[in-house]
Amino acid sequence: MDNLAIYFATETGNAETLANQTHERALATGRADATVQSIAKLTPEDLAAHKLAVFVVSTWGDGEPPSDATDFYYGLEKQTGLDLSGVTYAVFGLGDRDYADFNAFARNLDEQLAARGARRLLDRAEADLDFDDTYAAWADRLFAALESAPAVTTS
Ligand SMILES: Cc1cc2nc3c(=O)[nH]c(=O)nc-3n(C[C@H](O)[C@H](O)[C@H](O)COP(=O)(O)O)c2cc1C
Determine, yes or no, domain membership for 153: no
Determine, yes or no, domain membership for 49: yes
How far is the centre of ligand 1, averaged over its atoms, from the C-alpha of 98 (Å)? 10
Select from 104, 136, 21, 116 the least CA-distant residue to 76: 116
Residue 128 CB–ligand 1 contact under 6 Å: no
Residue 65 CB–ligand 1 contact under 6 Å: no
What pLDDT, in 10s, does the model give residues 37-80?
999 999 999 999 999 999 999 999 999 999 999 999 999 999 99
d(CA 125, CA 136): 11
| Mutational pocket test of ligand 1: of 17, 99, 105, 130, the residue with most ligand atoms within 8 Å of the beta carbon | 99
Dmax of the chain from CA atoms?
48
How far is the centre of ligand 1, averaged over its atoms, from the C-alpha of 58 (Å)? 6
* CATH number of the domain that residue 119 is part of: 3.40.50.360
Determine, yes or no, domain membership for 134: yes
What pLDDT, in 10s, does the model give residues 76-101?
999 999 999 999 999 999 999 999 99
**Predicted TM-score of the model (pTM):** 0.96
* Domain extent at residue 46: 4-146
Whether the per-residue pLDDT at 108 is higher than 80: the answer is yes
Q: Phi first, then psi: what are they for 16, rounded to 5°?
A: -65, -40
Determine, yes or no, domain membership for 51: yes
Determine, yes or no, domain membership for 155: no
Determine, yes or no, domain membership for 151: no
How far is the centre of ligand 1, averaged over its atoms, from the C-alpha of 154 (Å)? 37
Question: What is the number of domains present in the chain?
Answer: 1
59 contacts 24 by C-beta, under 8 angstroms: no
Determine, yes or no, domain membership for 121: yes
H or E segment and range at residue 145: helix 132-146
Determine, yes or no, domain membership for 73: yes
Query: Exposure of 141 by Cβ count < 10 A (0-12 exposed, 13-18 middle, 19+ buried)?
Result: middle
